[in-house]
Amino acid sequence: MPRKLAAGNWKMNGMAASLAEIDALVKAHPSPACEVLICPPATLIAQMAWKVGKNPIALGGQDCHSEASGAHTGDISAPMLADAGASYVIVGHSERRADHRETDVDVAAKARAAHAAGLTAVICVGETEAQRDAGETLAIIGAQLAGSLPESATPANSVVAYEPVWAIGTGRTPTLEQIGEVHGFLRAELAKRFEGTAADMRLLYGGSVKPSNAAEIFAVADVDGALVGGASLKADDFGPIVAALGAASA
């Protein structure tokens, strides 16, 4: 089994001064028992790579273009992220899907580009509150998964993050039973494609993960880590989440 993954998505937060949080995280958790990933704004990746040095923290982008280079003003490519020091990239976050109207086809193309650049793609899926209320959660997630995982995806180069849209940044989380239902469904869907190796693809839960709820979420079957937004910005919050996942890995 691959190591569990505590991933922090800083979203559009963080300036050079925020790099101090990495020092604090390394100081408090020099040898985490799980893999740790920080996805800062792209402007900070190179500086952060220098700061992280040989410490066990991976870096990732929050999005990439589907092309490796070209006339795409304002975009960033997967090879550029790799060049800056990233080894991961998030694709298909619900904020990208909503703000930039990204479709499953777009997300699959971005994940394909990430794989071609040697990056691990963190591919996000998740239902809206209206879809959950309508009883459509598994159908929506199944369709997003099928449409967003390109043919290049393997358990080694891809991670799937389940993020209910209504739980992001709201302080609300699904029940543990609801998280378990979706993660079990995702694993079963992956098993249809990856057969004996589906257990090797890490499934992250994301949406209002905090130090106070991390341990109970990490105890749910088929939860292999978390994609954390707000609570990843401060080492004092993210550190205990890393520690909780490390304890769940033991």
Ligand X SMILES: O=C[C@H](O)COP(=O)(O)O
Question: Contact positions toward ligand X, by CB under 6 A?
Answer: 9, 93, 163, 168-169, 206-209, 227-231
123 vs 209, beta carbon nearer ligand X = 209
Which residue's C-beta sits nearest to ligand X? 229
Task: Give the shortest CB-176-to-ligand X separation in angstroms.
Answer: 17
User: What are 88's strand-pairing partners?
Assistant: 60, 120
Please choose, from the candidates 20, 6, 51, 30, the residue with its C-alpha nearest in 3D space to the C-alpha of residue 159: 6
Q: DSSP letter for 122, please.
A: E
Cβ neighbour number for residue 85 with a 10 Å cutoff:
16
100: annotated active-site residue: no
Of 163 and 222, nearer to ligand X (C-beta) is: 163
**Does 229 appear as a known binding residue?**
yes
Buried b (16+ CB within 10 A) or exposed e, 210-243: ebebbeebbebebbbbbbbbbbbbebebbbbbbb
Annotation says 195 is catalytic: no
Q: Least distance from C-beta 14 to ligand X, angstroms?
A: 14
Task: List phi, psi (to 5°) of 211.
Answer: -55, -30
Q: How far is the CB of 167 from ligand X (least distance, A)?
A: 6
The active-site residue, picked from 29, 93, 115, 183, is: 93
The one catalytic residue in 21, 95, 163, 189 is 163
Nearer of residues 207 and 225 to ligand X, judged by Cβ: 207
The Cα 225–Cα 166 span in angstroms is 19
Which residues are part of the catalytic machinery? 93, 163
The binding site for substrate consists of 9-11, 169, 208, 229-230
